[in-house]
Copies of this chain bind each other. A is one copy, B any other.
Amino acid sequence: MKHRFSHQRALIRKILTDYKGHLSAEEIYERVLKHEPSMSLGTVYRNLHVLEGMGEIRKLMVKEKALYEGERKPHHHIICTRCGMVKNVYKPAHLKCEKCLSWVHDFTVEEAFITAYGVCKQCKK
Contact = CB atoms under 8 A, between A and B. Distances in A.
Interface residues of A, number: 33
Contacts of A118: 107-111
A103 B78 CA distance: 12
Contacts of A61: 61
Interface in A72-86: 76, 78, 80-81
Determine how many copies of this chain the complex contains: 2
Contacts of A103: 92
Interface stretch (A3-11, A34-42, A94-102): A94-102
Interface of A: 61, 76, 78, 80-81, 87, 89, 91-92, 95, 97-98, 100-101, 103-104, 106-121, 124
